[in-house]
Amino acid sequence: MTPVLKQARFAIDIGGTFTDFILEDGAGDLHTFKTLTTHDDYTVAIGEGIDRLLARTGITAGEIGQVLHATTLGSNTLLERSGAKTGLITTTGFRDVLEIRDLRMPRLYDQTWEKPEPLVRRRYRRVVEGRILADGTEMTPLNEADVRAAVEMLRAEGVTSVAVCLINAHANPAHEIRVAEILREIWPEVHLSLSHVLLPEEGEYPRTSTTVINAYVQPVIKDYVARLLAMMEGRGIAAPLFFMQSNGGLTPARIAAEQPIHIIESGPAAGVVGASIIGSQTGSPTVITLDIGGTTAKAALVENGTPGKATEFQVGGHVLQVERLLSGGGFTLRVPAIDLAEVGAGGGSIIALDAAGVPQVGPRSAGSNPGPACYGRGGTELTVTDCNLTLGYLNESSIAGGEMVLSRDAAVKVATEQLADPIGLPVEEAVHGVFTLSCVTMIQAIRAVTTERGQDPRDFAVFAFGGNGPLFAAGIAQTLGCPKVIVPPAPGVFSALGLLCAEVEIHKSRSFRAIVGPDSVAQAQAMLAEMAALAEAEAAQPGGRVSVTARMRYAGQSSDLQVSLGDPARLDPDAVRAAFVAEHDRVFKFTAPDDEPVRFTAIEVAYAIPVGRLDLSRRRLPTEGQASTQRAWFGSHGWLDAPVIPRTALDRATGPCIITDPDATTLVPPGATALRTPLGGIEITLPQPAKGPALRHVEPA
Amino acid sequence: MSVSTASTARAPVPEPAGAIADPIAFQLFRHAITGIANEMALTIFRTAYSGVLKNIMDYSTAICDREGRLAAQGLSLPGHLCSIPVALKASIAAMKDPIEEGDILVMNDPYSGGMHLPDIFTFKPVFVEGEIVAWACAVCHHTDVGGRVAGSNASDSTEIYQEGIRIPPLKLHRRGVVNETFMAMMRSNVRMPERFDGDLRGQIAACRIAEQGIQALALSRGREAFVGLVEGLLDYSEILTREAIKRLPDGEVTFTDYIDDDGIDVGQPIKLVCSIRKSGERLVVDWTGTAPQVKGAINNTFSYTAAASYTAVKTVLADGAPNNDGVFRAVEVIAPPGTIANAVMPAACAARGLTGFRMADCAFGAMAKLAPGQVFACGDGGNTNVSIGGWTAERKPYIFVDFFSAAWGARPWADGHEGNTTMFANMASYSTETVEGENGIVITVNEFADDSAGAGKFRGGAAMRRDYMLTEDEAVLSVRADRQSHRPYGLEGGHDGAAGISLMNGRPLSSKFTMSMRKGDVLSHTLPSGGGYGDPLDRDPAAVAEDWLDDFVSTATARDIYGVILTAQGTVDTAATEARRAELRKEAK
């Protein structure tokens, strides 16, 4: 049973534009605050938020029991190439693994495509003689003179962080360990990242890339953690600091500083964790999360309260590829992560007609500056937000709590000139077409985590947050045939809320290449026990929950499935095979003959400890906004008078209506009903045709 | 289109497509149908047994209209661009019985519309209200389809009969029931029947998934409206393609290049001639003048020649037009029968991949003449294929099939990439550690060759080298490579890329061969490098210095090719560089 903390907790989420805060007081009440992110030094905005919320609530620094943090620092460091000057020591003959990647590119028929610039230039990739084979035996001994020469060169060049990744180090790390000893002996102050420690798994590119990413961001994160702790200490906050990891678990700050690879996609993960916990608390443990902002839409899948996981993803490129067959847009980071898919479509996405006169939504975006034409800040191109304003889904004071006034006239003008007139439709029909097209474009992110994973989206509710999520959620859900939409409280600061829901979680993985049988299962069991002990030691807190998974395949196959192995104390070969076969059949709809062996490729341990518990019923909602009505266009229904209802005034309403939060607008289409749940969420039930076979590719005409 | 057709154009030339009637409804439909074709591709990716499919992605998926014309293509290899409709139309024509719901057609015969024997096609008719509205299609490169050499991919076969089992268009499923006679026959003739089964199963699963999706889509729009929307897909691509063609200058250009040899008549170059005629919104790619078909197994069937042509044209047009019959209506490809560009029976064609790459290079060269400054120089010439196979001490068969290509030619505005697949094949490479874990092979080198890039104002990509050491007792090695005597061309004064080379324990070999390999033997293969663009003496000296620090350029190359004099620390000696460049310019005159 989770202990209910008596102390206050701070959740802080740094985003591209805003830094969001939630202070949970000792009684469980939630207090929120939002301020502009200070990009030069994130701790300035954080200090301001802490001061403001403490002053507002009268809580003292000494009462803070925990600080939970999500940050974009890791991903920004990679995107902006602002990490440490990094060197790589690798095996002779393999100097260019980092640049060769898997050779593939994410674009076809495009001469202008540019490869991402490697994080370590060729001159700082130094090779050492010595070779371990795949079975762990030594073919050539390590040449220590090579190691010393490499170290001297890198030190002379002013490198401050070194990654070491030798071929087959996952099978036998002896050479890598020796390289590390020499490094520590002659260059004790260097930041060091070792591949067999960070990722003891087969695959030299993902392992090299992951190790290099760690080396590249580690000095930056270490420095940031130190400054953050100093800032907290200066205010008298002695509470432990936890970071959100890409896998949705929290990790102590000292581990984040050593292994920053786990906190690269920290913010998006927090929102999905929040959705999984709040969904479960409100009777919807199985949802598709939909986080739509100004430039992107992100989706993830939560089944029975558990977010879908990926074993690797790409960072440092631009928007994640939805069409994930084509890798190469960024750097591979092989760490467990919530399986998020992203498309470049959001409120700021620009609508343009191609040479055949067919409209496209994004991926170009007007961003927040100049922003959509209706912002009146010099934006001249038609955006999704201009269309929503034209349709009456937004009103002139919908953005930023009414602090910024939008111009509907400007929106209608660009929509008429750039869209309706050229394609020969009345403006409301044309912009409604864009709304539907936006839904279909954003749905690509949902497809990537559902149909591409063998799941039927109609089995899920859509859980929407982010500034634009609640506006598109019902349209997207109707298009996909999902029965229900959930809009949680505080959709605009939802990732901070997610932080308060998370547990500490430590992951360990190892390559394990063996056919499933009595011997290999016994061996796996022993290794898993050892890995669990390591994870527990790292968490420095006993009594956690251990779950074990394996990556497995039919012996003849060349890709893996991740399979939960259940109770690690009671593994047996038949049950392991059965678990794999069941998962394979669920995802791929076929089962190989009984005599086809099943093989392990890797085994994994997750060690989880709860750190607090969020009580949503205690959140105090601000009572803002006034009821009114707004003319809005609903496709075949035409123009209707839609009631505008502040969330706090909502009990039960029938669509069309528009529900407002200070930071988001929820659209309830005709025929749907909206209900405020006891915990403050909005639940929209959509009118559905009877569920027929395989309608998953169909959207309403 | 009949299989012996020499041209993709119909007679008479069709009327250009009109405008898209309802752009928004059309765009919604396009998203939906493209989603289905992509989902097919993902299904194969995730269920495939063999590395050829999973890692190298040598497969394609598509949806064709009821007449067999390509309507939507999933993510796939450019080399498969035109193959599906050609093979499908030939298969439909070959059926003696009526085609019924639940049927799946299968074929691989190059002389019935296929490409080479390892590429097995499956076609599933999609019925709505009792009528065919579309075809779900998949083509996968299978690891082995029998024949004299493991992998069925040897470049030194001289007749199709040596290359493996030929499947004429047949029914693999008849009204939902699998043809077990066919399956038994295949299992007895391929070296790895489990893998064949597993990969074929993935292919069929993809067709089934597409069938469900297409049926739902057709029902939601109504059958007749669906057919109209599919027609719109073709019109859309045709409009985009024609608009882009209009922007190119009118004219006629011819580019000539050579394949080193066919591996049988060693040292006998094979001529490729690509002429492009462009006027208004029409473009013709004509291979007349290309060498007659050869003895070695590098003969193209017509669809592969067309794919190489379209890859070059599409890349330069950069019009974003989805691949379908609409593109083919705007761009005509001509290839005379009996040439290496359009071989006839009984030419061997297993290793025709090589010719496709070379033809793509040649078509890019012609486009560069038509539109100077818009096209890159020649890359490494496409992938080398290395196959190592045999029997382990326990009498178990093993086959390791590797394909890799890695260097782009320089672009008129930037250096060419190294360590990146060429345009004609977006293939992934294997992990060295995985290869070593699964095969009796140690990869001892997998990196760029120092000082190898074709020089220029913008340089080509550096060459890539990969060495293989055998740890099994013995194996049969077959290598299909090229550009060892005809180097990748540079443009506008840029130097040619370096030639490729294969060495066995240090001894040079020819570009295409099959030989035995014993324990401890090392095959070292270095691909060619990319050609340069523009005069190397015009290259920014600072860029030369950066390349020197990264070992992409040696001190001698910097001095003698680029005219750049570097200090011991790698900084540019400006005065000495100016003098050296003046000297080199004078020598050149």
CB atoms within 10 A of CB A86: 27
**8 Å CB contact between A327 and B428:** yes
d(CA A534, CA A526) in angstroms, rounded, equals: 13
- Compute the distance between CA of residue A33 and CA of residue A22 in angstroms, rounded to an integer: 6
Q: Which of A286-290, A376-380, B249-253 has the lowest mean pLDDT?
A: A376-380
Q: Which residues contact A651 (CB under 8 A, 6 or more apart)?
A: A675, A676
B221-245, pLDDT tens digit by residue?
Answer: 999 999 999 999 999 999 999 999 9
Interface of B with A in 128-147 (CB under 8 A): none
Picking from A91, A95, A97, A108 by the largest number of B CB atoms within 10 A of its own CB, the best residue to mutate is: A108
Cβ neighbours of A99 in B, within 8 Å:
418-419, 448
**Among candidates A15, A609, A492, which has minimal Cα distance to A265?**
A15
* Residue B271: Cβ-neighbour burial (10 angstroms; 0-12, 13-18, 19+): middle
Whole-number Å distance between alpha carbons of A192 and A208: 13
Q: Please give the residue that has the higher pLDDT: either B135 or B191.
A: B135
Segment A562-586 mean pLDDT: 89
Q: Would the pLDDT of B6 be above 80?
A: no
Conformational region of residue B147, where left means phi above 0, alpha means psi within -120 to 50, and beta covers everything else: left
Task: Return the pLDDT at A322.
Answer: 44
Question: Do the chains contact at A134 and B437, CB–CB below 8 Å?
Answer: yes
Q: CA-CA distance, A221 to A256, in Å (whole number)?
A: 8
Kindly state the helix (H) or strand (E) to which residue A447 belongs, with its residue range.
Answer: helix A427-449
pLDDT recorded at residue A463? 97
What count of other Cβ atoms lies within 10 Å of the Cβ of residue A33?
18
Residue A93 Ramachandran class (φ > 0 left, ψ -120 to 50 alpha, else beta): left
Residue of chain A nearest B383, judged by CA positions = A103
Q: Chain A to chain B, count of Cβ pairs less than 8 Å apart?
A: 234
Element at A581 (helix H, strand E): helix A573-588
Contact B217 A170 (CB under 8 A): no
Q: Which residues of B touch A359 (CB under 8 A)?
A: 23-24, 27
- What is the chain B residue with the closest CA to A120? B550
| pLDDT tens per residue across span B534-566 | 999 999 999 999 999 999 999 999 999 999 999
Better-predicted residue by pLDDT, A611 or A272: A272
pLDDT of residue A596: 84
Q: pLDDT value at position B97?
A: 93
Tokens of B35: 């989603």
Question: Comparing C-alpha atoms, which of A509, A514, A561, A556 is closest to residue A531?
Answer: A509
Tokens of B63: 């949806």
The pLDDT assigned to A402 comes to 61
Across residues A198-213, what is the average pLDDT? 96
Gyration radius (Cα) of chain A, Å: 26
Long-range contacts (CB closer than 8 Å, 24 or more residues apart) made by A134-138: A134/A168, A134/A171, A134/A202, A134/B433, A134/B436, A134/B437, A135/A171, A136/A168, A136/A171, A136/A172, A137/A172, A138/A172, A138/A174, A138/A175
Pick from A100, A123, A697: which is nearest to B32 by CB?
Answer: A697
Statement: residue B5 has pLDDT above 70: no
Judged by a CB distance cut-off of 8 A, whether residue B225 touches chain A is no
CA distance A214 to B96: 63
> How many residues would you count in chain B?
589
Summarised one tens digit per residue, pLDDT across range B434-491 is 899 888 999 999 999 999 999 999 999 999 999 999 999 999 998 999 999 999 999 9
Distance from CA of B176 to the nearest CA of A (A): 16
pLDDT per position as a tens digit, B317-367: 998 899 999 999 999 999 999 999 999 999 999 989 899 999 999 999 999
Per the prediction, chain A carries an average pLDDT of: 89
Is residue B351 within 8 Å of residue B301, measured between CB atoms?
A: no
**What are the b/e assignments for B10-39, b being 16+ CB within 10 Å?**
eeeeeeebeebebbbbbbbbbbbbbbbbbb
**Where does the pLDDT of residue A403 fall: very low under 50, low under 70, confident under 90, or very high at 90 and above?**
low
- Per the rule left: phi > 0, alpha: psi between -120 and 50, beta: everything else, B507 is beta
- β-partners of residue A64 are A8
* Torsional sign, CA A69, A70, A73, A74: positive
Does B378 lie at the interface with A, CB-CB under 8 angstroms? Answer: no
Position A3 scores a pLDDT of 41
Q: Residue B9: pLDDT above 60? A: no
Task: State the sign of the Cα–Cα–Cα–Cα dihedral A590, A591, A597, A602.
Answer: positive
Choose among B28, B42, B445: nearest Cβ to A325: B42
Q: Confidence band (pLDDT; 50, 70, 90) for A694?
A: very low
Mean pLDDT (whole number) for B503-524: 95
Cross-chain residue pair B426–A556, CB shorter than 8 Å? no
Residue A391 has pLDDT above 90, yes or no: yes
Q: Rounded to 5 degrees, what angle do the CA atoms B302, B346, B89 make?
A: 40
Instruction: State the Cα–Cα distance between residues B206 and B40, nearest whole angstrom.
Output: 5
Amino acid residing at B329 = R
Q: Do B212 and A693 touch (CB under 8 A)?
A: yes
Q: Which residues in chain A are closer than 8 Å to B421, comparing Cβ atoms?
A: 103-105
Collect all residues with Cβ–Cβ distance below 8 Å to A533 and sequence separation of at least 6: none
3-state SS track over B357-411? HHHHHHHHHHHHHHCCCCCCCCCCCCCEEEEEEEECCCCCEEEEEEEECCECCCE
Angle, CA B387 vertex, CA B382 and CA B392 arms, to 5°: 165
The answer to whether B287 and B338 are in contact (CB under 8 A) is no
- Residue A265: which of A247, A250, A291, A249 has the closest Cα? A247
Answer whether residue B398 shows pLDDT above 90.
no
Amino acid code (one letter) for A305: G
CA distance A674 to chain B (A): 28
The answer to whether B215 contacts A694, with C-beta atoms less than 8 Å apart, is yes
Mean pLDDT of A311-327: 64
SS3 B297: coil
B471 CA to chain A: closest CA distance, Å? 11
Does the structure show a pLDDT above 60 at B205? Answer: yes
Q: Which residues of B touch A556 (CB under 8 A)?
A: 49-50, 194-195, 198
Nearest to B32 among A121, A452, A698 (CB): A698
Has residue B23 got a pLDDT over 60? Answer: yes
Say if the Cβ atoms of B32 and A513 lie within 8 Å. Answer: no
State which H helix or E strand residue B93 sits in. helix B83-94
Contact A701 B446 (CB under 8 A): no
ipTM for the complex shown = 0.92
Distances (CA, A) of A431 to A424, B17, B147, B208, B221: 12, 27, 60, 36, 21
Q: What are the phi and psi torsion angles at B510 (to 5°)?
A: -85, 180
Distance CA A476, CA A438 (A): 9
Q: Which of B338, B354, B342 is nearest to B110 (CA)?
A: B342
**Could you tell me the maximum CA-CA distance found in chain B, to the nearest angstrom?**
81
Residue A349 has pLDDT above 90, yes or no: yes
pLDDT given at position A619: 60
Question: What percentage of chain A has pLDDT greater than the value 70?
Answer: 92
Closest CA to B459 of B505, B423, B415: B415
Q: Which residue has the tokens 């969904």?
A: A279
Nearest CA in chain A to B438: A134
Opening angle at CA B331, ends B329 and B336, nearest 5: 105
Q: Tell whether B372 lies on the interface with A, counting CB pairs under 8 A.
A: no
Chain A residues within an 8 Å CB radius of B195: 556
Q: What are the pLDDT digits (tens) for A141-185? A: 999 999 999 999 999 999 999 999 999 999 999 999 999 999 999
The mean predicted confidence, pLDDT, of chain B is 92
Q: Is the dihedral of CA A579, A584, A587, A591 positive or negative?
A: negative
> Taking a contact as any Cβ pair under 8 Å apart, which residues of chain B between 383 and 412 contact chain A?
404-406, 411
Q: Coil, strand, or helix at residue B311?
A: helix
**Tokens linked to B379:** 């890359």
Give me the residue label for tokens 């194969």: B44
Tokens matching residue B471: 């740890």
Using one digit for the tens of pLDDT, what is the confidence trace for B70-79?
Answer: 999 987 778 8
